[in-house]
Amino acid sequence: MVIREQYLLRIRPFYDSEMVKVITGIRRCGKSTLMKQIMSEISKNKIAGDHIIYINFEDYQFRKISNADALYRYVEALITDDNKYYLFIDEIQNVDEFELVINSFRSTHNISIFITGSNSKLLSGELATHLSGRTVSFRIMPFSFREFCELKNGYEDGMAKEQLLDEYMRWGGFPIVCKETEEESKEVLLSNIYDAVVLKDIIMRNKVASPAALEKVLEYVIANSSLTISGNNIANVMNEEEQIVSAPTIYDYLRYMEEACICDKVSRYDIRGKKVLAYEEKTYVCDLGFFHLKKNRIKDEYNYIVETLCYNELIARGYKVYIGKTFKGEVDFIAKRGQEKFYVQAAYMLSDEKVVEREFGAYDNINDNYPKYVITMDRIMMSRDGIIHLNLIDFLINDIR
């Protein structure tokens, strides 16, 4: 088992907090396993087993707990004294009005609450209304490349990191997919995850009237990961294919996709004006396996793949990420975490002087002293003018600072 230390490190300070710990992420990214790792750590602190309550709503035995009243009765019956309890609820979005019960337990019992869900609306919608200021959230991603290497070295000891990166860039980091060795099995599992996310977390949850149109839009978004997209542009493409879908409907679809954690919309940030710009957002798919599933990779697309990979790595490390807008152009990423801030340019290879000038020149109009990086797959580093050139594998394996 891969211990997901980069997430545990961020969650540990809140183990005993009254804040509700909300763990979100796409379906099958490893939220349940992470929750069990937290439970294991808590149990080692001499916490009695009957004071750790675990409910997994994808487990058939909990099928009858489908509403707030049933959830309240079940948990209340297990709390028999005033000592500290730890409540873990997996895939809580399956319970109607769950937020009412969570708020009640938080305010009336000596309890630490952890919940997971495959929908980011857990924070922005249901929970925000009743628990404003009383939640702390953690976004979980599929395996990072570092975690992928940790897993794979147990199966295929001695594989070169370059080989592992090629496999990772092709099949992504969903744990259940990473454990398979046969490509046919990987493809089947990845397709099943994709279908489950589309059906359960997008179509059924949002009562989508035209699933076929939604899937077309989703395929377009995934195939164009790291590119600027808009509802109007997608509507034009759809109309050319004789599938009439309005721009407002497409914007709804994009919101559903983001809530299901299958992709992120990333805003541009005006570096000079120091403000977020509400236009020309880029979209990044959460796992490169989906990119492989929906678009055959060719050499010219490696730039998109590397950029998507770097974005997902920054999110997994807990950074807030923006596209940097300068006076004459843009920087791929501005990464912020607490007081930490740095810039990233991501590309496949610095294949000629024109590409070198494009990537390093992106920083010409940025005069602050925050660290600036160019990340590529080149083996020979060409750092210059205070701009640090990093090999992609070195970036993925090691902390950037």
Mean pLDDT in residue range 343-372: 94
pLDDT for position 326: 86
Contact 24, 79 (CB under 8 A): no
Of 310, 259, 252, the residue nearest 284 (C-alpha): 310
pLDDT for position 18: 93
Torsion of CA 376, 382, 387, 393, to 10 degrees: 30
Band of pLDDT at residue 121, cut at 50, 70 and 90: confident
pLDDT for position 275: 79
In angstroms, the CA 286 to CA 279 distance is: 21
Mean pLDDT in residue range 114-122: 86
User: Assign residue 133 a region: left if phi > 0, alpha if psi is -120 to 50, beta otherwise?
Assistant: left
pLDDT for position 144: 97
Band of pLDDT at residue 154, cut at 50, 70 and 90: low
Contact 278, 267 (CB under 8 A): yes
SS (H, E, C) 56-67: ECCCHHHCCCCE
Q: Using the predicted structure, report yes or no on whether residue 362 has a pLDDT greater than 60.
A: yes
β-pairing verdict for 275-285 and 263-270: antiparallel
Of 272, 270, 269, the residue nearest 367 (C-alpha): 272
In angstroms, the CA 322 to CA 325 distance is: 9
| Residue bearing the bigger pLDDT, 235 or 11 | 11
Of 141, 108, 194, 112, the residue nearest 31 (C-alpha): 141
Domain positions in the chain: 5-139, 145-397
pLDDT for position 228: 87
Helices (H), 62-160: 68-78, 98-108, 121, 128-130, 145-155
Q: Using the predicted structure, report yes or no on whether residue 343 has a pLDDT greater than 90.
A: yes
Band of pLDDT at residue 329, cut at 50, 70 and 90: confident
pLDDT for position 15: 97
Mean pLDDT across the chain, nearest whole number? 91
How many helices (H) does the chain have, and how many strands (E)? Answer: 18, 12
Of 228, 218, 224, the residue nearest 262 (C-alpha): 218
Q: Using the predicted structure, report yes or no on whether residue 149 has a pLDDT greater than 60.
A: yes
- Phi, psi dihedrals of residue 246, rounded to the nearest 5°: -75, 155
pLDDT for position 300: 57
Q: What percent of the chain has pLDDT over 70?
A: 95
Mean pLDDT in residue range 286-295: 90
In angstroms, the CA 194 to CA 28 distance is: 10
In angstroms, the CA 379 to CA 390 distance is: 9
pLDDT for position 158: 52
Kindly list the strands in the beta sheet with 320-325, ordered across the sheet, starting from the edge strand earlier in the chain.
275-285, 263-270, 320-325, 330-337, 340-346, 372-376, 388-391
For residue 390, the surrounding DSSP H or E stretch is strand 388-391
- 3-class SS of residue 241: coil
- Render pLDDT for 156-177 as a digit per residue (tens, 0 to 9): 555 688 999 999 999 999 999 9
Task: Go through 278-289 and write b for each residue having 16 or more CB atoms within 10 A of its CB, e for each that does not.
Answer: eeebbbbbbbbb
pLDDT for position 53: 97
- Render pLDDT for 45-54 as a digit per residue (tens, 0 to 9): 888 899 999 9
Band of pLDDT at residue 280, cut at 50, 70 and 90: confident
- Render pLDDT for 201-255 as a digit per residue (tens, 0 to 9): 999 999 999 999 999 999 999 988 998 888 888 888 887 777 788 889 999 999 9
- Render pLDDT for 383-398 as a digit per residue (tens, 0 to 9): 999 999 999 999 999 9
When the candidates are 3.40.190.10, 3.40.50.300, 2.60.40.60, 2.30.110.10, the CATH number that belongs to 5-139 is 3.40.50.300
| Residue bearing the bigger pLDDT, 141 or 96 | 141
- Render pLDDT for 332-341 as a digit per residue (tens, 0 to 9): 999 999 999 9
Of 283, 258, 248, the residue nearest 202 (C-alpha): 258
Contact 317, 303 (CB under 8 A): no
| Residue bearing the bigger pLDDT, 245 or 372 | 372
Contact residues for 32 (Cβ-Cβ < 8 A; gap 6+): 56, 58, 90, 116
